[in-house]
Protein backbone atom coordinates (compact mmCIF):
# COMPACT_ATOMS: atom_id res chain seq x y z
CA UNK A 1 0.00 0.00 0.00
CA UNK A 2 1.50 3.30 -1.03
CA UNK A 3 1.43 6.49 0.98
CA UNK A 4 -0.80 9.19 -0.39
CA UNK A 5 0.74 12.04 -2.30
CA UNK A 6 0.65 15.41 -0.56
CA UNK A 7 -2.84 16.93 -0.91
CA UNK A 8 -3.17 20.68 -1.45
CA UNK A 9 -6.13 22.92 -0.51
CA UNK A 10 -6.55 23.97 -4.16
CA UNK A 11 -7.01 20.32 -5.09
CA UNK A 12 -9.75 19.82 -2.53
CA UNK A 13 -11.59 22.92 -3.77
CA UNK A 14 -11.56 21.65 -7.35
CA UNK A 15 -12.77 18.20 -6.29
CA UNK A 16 -15.64 19.61 -4.24
CA UNK A 17 -16.77 21.82 -7.11
CA UNK A 18 -16.87 18.75 -9.34
CA UNK A 19 -18.69 16.69 -6.71
CA UNK A 20 -21.37 19.30 -6.12
CA UNK A 21 -21.96 20.00 -9.80
CA UNK A 22 -22.31 16.32 -10.68
CA UNK A 23 -24.33 15.20 -7.68
CA UNK A 24 -26.82 18.06 -7.09
CA UNK A 25 -26.53 18.92 -3.36
CA UNK A 26 -29.72 18.75 -1.33
CA UNK A 27 -31.80 21.84 -0.75
CA UNK A 28 -31.34 23.98 2.32
CA UNK A 29 -34.83 22.99 3.51
CA UNK A 30 -34.00 19.28 3.66
CA UNK A 31 -33.60 17.64 7.07
CA UNK A 32 -30.10 17.42 8.46
CA UNK A 33 -28.33 14.33 7.07
CA UNK A 34 -26.84 11.62 9.28
CA UNK A 35 -23.35 10.26 8.68
CA UNK A 36 -22.16 7.07 10.39
CA UNK A 37 -18.40 6.86 10.99
CA UNK A 38 -17.48 3.34 12.01
CA UNK A 39 -13.80 3.08 12.90
CA UNK A 40 -10.25 4.38 12.97
CA UNK A 41 -10.00 8.18 13.02
CA UNK A 42 -13.06 8.70 10.82
CA UNK A 43 -15.26 9.99 13.62
CA UNK A 44 -12.97 12.94 14.32
CA UNK A 45 -12.21 13.64 10.66
CA UNK A 46 -15.90 13.64 9.77
CA UNK A 47 -17.00 15.77 12.71
CA UNK A 48 -14.26 18.27 11.89
CA UNK A 49 -15.47 18.54 8.30
CA UNK A 50 -19.22 18.77 8.91
CA UNK A 51 -19.11 21.01 12.01
CA UNK A 52 -22.83 21.41 12.80
CA UNK A 53 -24.06 20.81 9.24
CA UNK A 54 -24.76 17.08 9.73
CA UNK A 55 -25.28 14.61 12.53
CA UNK A 56 -22.32 12.25 12.95
CA UNK A 57 -22.87 8.90 14.66
CA UNK A 58 -19.64 7.20 15.77
CA UNK A 59 -19.81 3.45 16.33
CA UNK A 60 -16.40 2.44 17.71
CA UNK A 61 -15.25 4.61 20.59
CA UNK A 62 -11.61 5.45 21.49
CA UNK A 63 -9.96 2.53 23.24
CA UNK A 64 -12.24 -0.09 21.67
CA UNK A 65 -10.77 -2.83 19.50
CA UNK A 66 -12.07 -2.58 15.91
CA UNK A 67 -10.69 -6.01 15.01
CA UNK A 68 -13.14 -7.79 17.30
CA UNK A 69 -16.03 -5.33 17.06
CA UNK A 70 -19.51 -6.74 16.51
CA UNK A 71 -22.39 -4.65 15.20
CA UNK A 72 -25.17 -4.11 17.74
CA UNK A 73 -28.88 -3.74 16.88
CA UNK A 74 -28.61 0.01 17.56
CA UNK A 75 -25.68 0.18 15.13
CA UNK A 76 -27.71 -1.52 12.42
CA UNK A 77 -30.55 0.93 12.96
CA UNK A 78 -28.17 3.88 12.59
CA UNK A 79 -26.64 2.35 9.47
CA UNK A 80 -30.01 1.80 7.81
CA UNK A 81 -31.11 5.41 8.29
CA UNK A 82 -27.79 7.09 7.42
CA UNK A 83 -27.25 9.21 4.32
CA UNK A 84 -23.58 8.18 4.27
CA UNK A 85 -21.61 5.39 5.98
CA UNK A 86 -17.84 5.67 6.30
CA UNK A 87 -15.48 2.92 7.37
CA UNK A 88 -11.72 2.64 7.13
CA UNK A 89 -11.51 -0.44 4.94
CA UNK A 90 -8.51 -2.75 4.47
CA UNK A 91 -10.19 -5.06 6.99
CA UNK A 92 -9.55 -2.84 10.01
CA UNK A 93 -13.03 -3.76 11.24
CA UNK A 94 -14.00 -7.13 9.75
CA UNK A 95 -17.64 -6.74 10.79
CA UNK A 96 -17.88 -3.65 8.55
CA UNK A 97 -17.41 -5.87 5.53
CA UNK A 98 -20.96 -7.13 6.06
CA UNK A 99 -22.42 -3.73 5.17
CA UNK A 100 -20.36 -3.15 2.02
CA UNK A 101 -22.04 -3.06 -1.36
CA UNK A 102 -24.31 -0.06 -0.94
CA UNK A 103 -23.49 3.17 -2.77
CA UNK A 104 -23.72 5.07 0.50
CA UNK A 105 -21.01 2.89 2.13
CA UNK A 106 -17.45 4.12 1.53
CA UNK A 107 -14.19 2.41 2.52
CA UNK A 108 -12.31 5.68 2.96
CA UNK A 109 -8.73 4.43 3.31
CA UNK A 110 -9.10 2.18 0.27
CA UNK A 111 -10.27 5.14 -1.81
CA UNK A 112 -7.64 7.51 -0.40
CA UNK A 113 -4.61 5.22 -0.51
CA UNK A 114 -5.11 2.52 -3.16
CA UNK A 115 -3.17 -0.70 -2.71
CA UNK A 116 -0.04 -0.97 -4.84
CA UNK A 117 1.62 -3.81 -2.94
CA UNK A 118 1.29 -5.71 0.31
CA UNK A 119 4.83 -5.25 1.61
CA UNK A 120 3.80 -2.91 4.40
CA UNK A 121 1.86 -5.52 6.35
CA UNK A 122 3.21 -8.86 5.15
CA UNK A 123 3.95 -10.65 8.39
CA UNK A 124 5.14 -13.87 6.83
CA UNK A 125 3.03 -16.13 9.02
CA UNK A 126 -0.27 -17.83 8.49
CA UNK A 127 -1.89 -16.92 11.78
CA UNK A 128 -1.73 -13.66 13.71
CA UNK A 129 -5.05 -13.32 15.48
CA UNK A 130 -6.80 -9.97 15.60
CA UNK A 131 -4.11 -8.04 13.76
CA UNK A 132 -4.15 -10.14 10.59
CA UNK A 133 -5.18 -7.89 7.70
CA UNK A 134 -4.50 -10.03 4.65
CA UNK A 135 -1.22 -8.28 3.89
CA UNK A 136 -2.29 -4.62 3.97
CA UNK A 137 -1.72 -2.48 7.05
CA UNK A 138 -5.05 -0.68 7.53
CA UNK A 139 -3.68 1.84 10.04
CA UNK A 140 -2.99 4.33 7.25
CA UNK A 141 -3.57 7.48 9.33
CA UNK A 142 -0.24 7.04 11.15
CA UNK A 143 1.21 8.89 8.14
CA UNK A 144 -0.44 12.35 8.31
CA UNK A 145 -0.33 12.60 4.50
CA UNK A 146 -2.69 9.64 4.38
CA UNK A 147 -5.03 11.36 6.82
CA UNK A 148 -5.06 14.36 4.50
CA UNK A 149 -5.98 12.09 1.60
CA UNK A 150 -8.82 10.65 3.71
CA UNK A 151 -10.09 14.18 4.32
CA UNK A 152 -10.35 14.64 0.56
CA UNK A 153 -12.40 11.45 0.15
CA UNK A 154 -14.71 12.28 3.05
CA UNK A 155 -15.29 15.82 1.79
CA UNK A 156 -16.09 14.54 -1.70
CA UNK A 157 -18.72 12.19 -0.27
CA UNK A 158 -20.16 14.80 2.10
CA UNK A 159 -20.66 17.40 -0.63
CA UNK A 160 -23.67 15.74 -2.33
CA UNK A 161 -25.61 15.29 0.92
CA UNK A 162 -25.12 18.86 2.20
CA UNK A 163 -27.10 21.88 0.97
CA UNK A 164 -25.53 24.13 -1.65
CA UNK A 165 -25.38 26.91 0.93
CA UNK A 166 -22.93 24.86 3.02
CA UNK A 167 -20.51 23.87 0.27
CA UNK A 168 -18.11 26.78 0.67
CA UNK A 169 -17.86 26.16 4.42
CA UNK A 170 -17.16 22.48 3.79
CA UNK A 171 -14.43 23.35 1.30
CA UNK A 172 -12.86 25.82 3.74
CA UNK A 173 -12.84 23.31 6.59
CA UNK A 174 -11.38 20.61 4.36
CA UNK A 175 -8.65 22.95 3.12
CA UNK A 176 -7.65 23.94 6.65
CA UNK A 177 -7.74 20.31 7.83
CA UNK A 178 -5.37 19.39 5.02
CA UNK A 179 -3.09 22.31 5.87
CA UNK A 180 -2.90 21.21 9.50
CA UNK A 181 -2.29 17.54 8.66
CA UNK A 182 0.47 18.48 6.22
CA UNK A 183 2.00 20.59 8.99
CA UNK A 184 1.80 17.63 11.38
CA UNK A 185 3.66 15.53 8.83
CA UNK A 186 6.42 18.12 8.52
CA UNK A 187 6.61 18.57 12.29
CA UNK A 188 6.93 14.81 12.73
CA UNK A 189 9.93 14.70 10.42
CA UNK A 190 11.72 17.28 12.55
CA UNK A 191 11.05 15.30 15.73
CA UNK A 192 12.30 11.99 14.33
CA UNK A 193 15.43 13.73 13.05
CA UNK A 194 16.45 14.29 16.69
CA UNK A 195 16.79 10.54 17.30
CA UNK A 196 20.38 9.33 16.82
CA UNK A 197 20.58 7.57 13.46
CA UNK A 198 21.53 4.20 14.95
CA UNK A 199 18.46 4.33 17.22
CA UNK A 200 15.79 5.01 14.59
CA UNK A 201 13.82 1.86 15.24
CA UNK A 202 10.35 1.14 16.57
CA UNK A 203 9.87 -2.08 18.55
CA UNK A 204 6.16 -2.70 18.96
CA UNK A 205 3.90 -5.64 19.65
CA UNK A 206 2.08 -5.61 16.32
CA UNK A 207 2.79 -4.36 12.82
CA UNK A 208 0.38 -1.46 13.00
CA UNK A 209 2.85 1.35 12.36
CA UNK A 210 4.25 0.59 8.91
CA UNK A 211 2.85 3.84 7.50
CA UNK A 212 4.57 5.79 10.29
CA UNK A 213 7.90 4.00 9.93
CA UNK A 214 7.86 4.19 6.13
CA UNK A 215 7.10 7.91 6.20
CA UNK A 216 9.90 8.74 8.62
CA UNK A 217 12.53 6.16 7.76
CA UNK A 218 12.40 4.03 10.90
CA UNK A 219 13.01 0.32 11.09
CA UNK A 220 10.04 -1.56 12.52
CA UNK A 221 10.42 -4.69 14.64
CA UNK A 222 7.14 -6.38 15.52
CA UNK A 223 7.63 -8.67 18.46
CA UNK A 224 4.44 -10.70 18.14
CA UNK A 225 3.43 -10.61 14.48
CA UNK A 226 6.89 -11.47 13.19
CA UNK A 227 8.03 -14.02 15.77
CA UNK A 228 4.96 -15.84 17.05
CA UNK A 229 2.33 -18.15 15.63
CA UNK A 230 -1.19 -17.45 16.82
CA UNK A 231 0.23 -15.13 19.48
CA UNK A 232 2.14 -17.96 21.19
CA UNK A 233 5.70 -17.02 22.19
CA UNK A 234 7.81 -20.16 22.29
CA UNK A 235 11.31 -20.26 23.89
CA UNK A 236 12.96 -20.35 20.47
CA UNK A 237 10.92 -17.31 19.40
CA UNK A 238 11.93 -15.46 22.55
CA UNK A 239 15.59 -16.09 21.79
CA UNK A 240 15.10 -14.86 18.22
CA UNK A 241 13.31 -11.70 19.36
CA UNK A 242 16.00 -11.01 21.94
CA UNK A 243 18.78 -11.27 19.38
CA UNK A 244 16.86 -9.12 16.89
CA UNK A 245 16.11 -6.38 19.40
CA UNK A 246 19.53 -6.33 21.06
CA UNK A 247 21.26 -5.62 17.76
CA UNK A 248 18.77 -3.04 16.53
CA UNK A 249 19.60 0.09 18.49
CA UNK A 250 16.26 -0.05 20.28
CA UNK A 251 16.12 1.79 23.60
CA UNK A 252 12.53 1.00 24.55
CA UNK A 253 9.75 -1.55 24.09
CA UNK A 254 6.49 0.17 23.17
CA UNK A 255 3.26 -1.36 24.51
CA UNK A 256 -0.13 -0.92 22.86
CA UNK A 257 -2.09 -1.21 26.08
CA UNK A 258 -1.73 -1.10 29.85
CA UNK A 259 -1.28 -3.10 31.98
CA UNK A 260 1.54 -4.65 29.98
CA UNK A 261 0.87 -8.14 28.65
CA UNK A 262 2.65 -11.19 30.06
CA UNK A 263 4.31 -11.73 26.69
CA UNK A 264 5.76 -8.22 26.66
CA UNK A 265 7.01 -8.66 30.23
CA UNK A 266 8.83 -11.82 29.14
CA UNK A 267 10.48 -9.91 26.29
CA UNK A 268 11.34 -7.10 28.70
CA UNK A 269 13.11 -9.52 31.04
CA UNK A 270 14.91 -11.27 28.20
CA UNK A 271 16.16 -8.14 26.43
CA UNK A 272 16.69 -5.92 29.47
CA UNK A 273 15.00 -3.04 27.66
CA UNK A 274 12.46 -0.95 29.58
CA UNK A 275 8.80 -0.89 28.62
CA UNK A 276 7.67 2.67 27.92
CA UNK A 277 5.43 4.11 30.63
CA UNK A 278 2.59 5.03 28.27
CA UNK A 279 1.24 3.08 25.30
CA UNK A 280 1.11 3.82 21.62
CA UNK A 281 -2.39 4.08 20.19
CA UNK A 282 -2.61 1.85 17.15
CA UNK A 283 -6.26 1.34 16.28
CA UNK A 284 -7.83 4.78 16.53
CA UNK A 285 -7.87 7.86 18.70
CA UNK A 286 -6.28 8.13 22.11
CA UNK A 287 -8.85 8.91 24.83
CA UNK A 288 -9.86 12.58 24.78
CA UNK A 289 -7.60 13.23 21.79
CA UNK A 290 -8.25 14.31 18.22
CA UNK A 291 -6.61 12.90 15.10
CA UNK A 292 -3.87 15.51 15.43
CA UNK A 293 -3.59 15.02 19.18
CA UNK A 294 -3.20 11.26 18.76
CA UNK A 295 -0.62 11.68 15.99
CA UNK A 296 1.52 14.08 18.01
CA UNK A 297 1.21 11.91 21.12
CA UNK A 298 2.35 8.78 19.28
CA UNK A 299 5.20 10.60 17.57
CA UNK A 300 6.45 12.12 20.82
CA UNK A 301 6.21 8.74 22.56
CA UNK A 302 8.43 7.07 19.96
CA UNK A 303 10.85 9.99 19.69
CA UNK A 304 11.37 10.37 23.43
CA UNK A 305 11.50 6.62 24.00
CA UNK A 306 14.28 6.31 21.43
CA UNK A 307 16.40 9.15 22.78
CA UNK A 308 15.15 12.11 20.77
CA UNK A 309 13.61 15.45 21.68
CA UNK A 310 9.97 16.38 21.08
CA UNK A 311 8.78 19.96 20.54
CA UNK A 312 5.62 19.82 22.63
CA UNK A 313 4.89 23.53 22.25
CA UNK A 314 4.70 23.15 18.48
CA UNK A 315 2.52 20.06 18.92
CA UNK A 316 0.15 22.07 21.13
CA UNK A 317 -0.10 24.74 18.42
CA UNK A 318 -1.03 22.11 15.84
CA UNK A 319 -3.71 20.68 18.14
CA UNK A 320 -5.10 24.17 18.71
CA UNK A 321 -5.26 24.80 14.96
CA UNK A 322 -7.17 21.56 14.48
CA UNK A 323 -9.62 22.37 17.27
CA UNK A 324 -10.24 25.81 15.75
CA UNK A 325 -11.60 24.41 12.47
CA UNK A 326 -15.27 25.40 12.30
pLDDT, one tens digit per residue, over 80-134 is: 999 999 999 999 999 998 887 677 999 999 999 997 443 344 433 333 344 554 5
Would you state the pLDDT for residue 11?
A: 62
- Cα 278 to Cα 258: distance, rounded to the nearest angstrom: 8
User: Is 279's pLDDT higher than 80?
Assistant: yes
Q: What is the mean pLDDT of residues 250-276?
A: 94
- Cα 37 to Cα 110: distance, rounded to the nearest angstrom: 15
Residue burial 232-266, b: 16+ Cβ < 10 Å; e: rest: ebeeebbeebbebbeebbbbbbbbbeeebbebbeb
Q: Report yes or no: 313 and 160 within 8 Å, Cβ to Cβ.
A: no
- Cα 227 to Cα 193: distance, rounded to the nearest angstrom: 29
Q: Report yes or no: 123 and 142 within 8 Å, Cβ to Cβ.
A: no
Per the structure, the complete domain to which residue 120 belongs is given by 9-189
Please, which pLDDT band fits residue 5 given cuts at 50, 70 and 90?
A: low
User: Is 135's pLDDT higher than 80?
Assistant: no
Total domain count, the chain: 2
User: Is 157's pLDDT higher than 60?
Assistant: yes
Would you state the pLDDT for residue 19?
A: 52
User: Is 17's pLDDT higher than 90?
Assistant: no
pLDDT, one tens digit per residue, over 162-175 is: 999 999 999 999 99
Please, which pLDDT band fits residue 47 given cuts at 50, 70 and 90?
A: very high
pLDDT, one tens digit per residue, over 50-66 is: 999 999 999 999 989 99
Pairwise pLDDT comparison (77 vs 230), residue with the higher score? 77
Residue 243 lies in a domain: yes
Residue 4 lies in a domain: no
Q: Of 146, 172, 189, which residue constitutes the final position of a domain? A: 189
Regarding whether 197 and 304 lie in a shared domain, the answer is yes
Would you state the pLDDT for residue 124?
A: 34
Residue 171 lies in a domain: yes
User: Is 39's pLDDT higher than 80?
Assistant: yes
Residue 1 lies in a domain: no
Residue 61 lies in a domain: yes
Would you state the pLDDT for residue 129?
A: 44
Regarding whether 154 and 23 lie in a shared domain, the answer is yes
Q: Of 162, 189, 216, which residue constitutes the final position of a domain? A: 189
Regarding whether 182 and 59 lie in a shared domain, the answer is yes
User: Is 215's pLDDT higher than 70?
Assistant: yes
Regarding whether 160 and 52 lie in a shared domain, the answer is yes
Regarding whether 156 and 274 lie in a shared domain, the answer is no
Regarding whether 178 and 99 lie in a shared domain, the answer is yes
- Cα 156 to Cα 168: distance, rounded to the nearest angstrom: 13
User: Is 229's pLDDT higher than 70?
Assistant: no
Would you state the pLDDT for residue 224?
A: 78
Would you state the pLDDT for residue 24?
A: 59
CATH code of the domain covering residue 117: 3.40.50.1980
Regarding whether 51 and 145 lie in a shared domain, the answer is yes
Regarding whether 143 and 48 lie in a shared domain, the answer is yes
DSSP string covering 200-264: -EEEESSS--HHHHHHHT-EEEETTTTT-BTTB--HHHHHHHHHHHHTTT---BB-SSSSPPHHH
Q: Report yes or no: 264 and 203 within 8 Å, Cβ to Cβ.
A: no
Please, which pLDDT band fits residue 31 given cuts at 50, 70 and 90?
A: confident
Q: Of 157, 189, 221, which residue constitutes the final position of a domain? A: 189
Amino acid sequence: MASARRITPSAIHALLVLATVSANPVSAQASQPTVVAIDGVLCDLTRTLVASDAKVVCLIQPGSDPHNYRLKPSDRQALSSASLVLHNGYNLTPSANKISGSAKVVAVAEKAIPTTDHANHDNGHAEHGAHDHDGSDPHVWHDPANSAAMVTVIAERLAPILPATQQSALAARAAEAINVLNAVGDWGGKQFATIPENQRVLVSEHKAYSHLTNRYGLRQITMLDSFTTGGVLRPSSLRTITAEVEGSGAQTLFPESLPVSKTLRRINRSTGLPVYSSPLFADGLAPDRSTVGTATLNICTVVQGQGGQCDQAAADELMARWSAIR
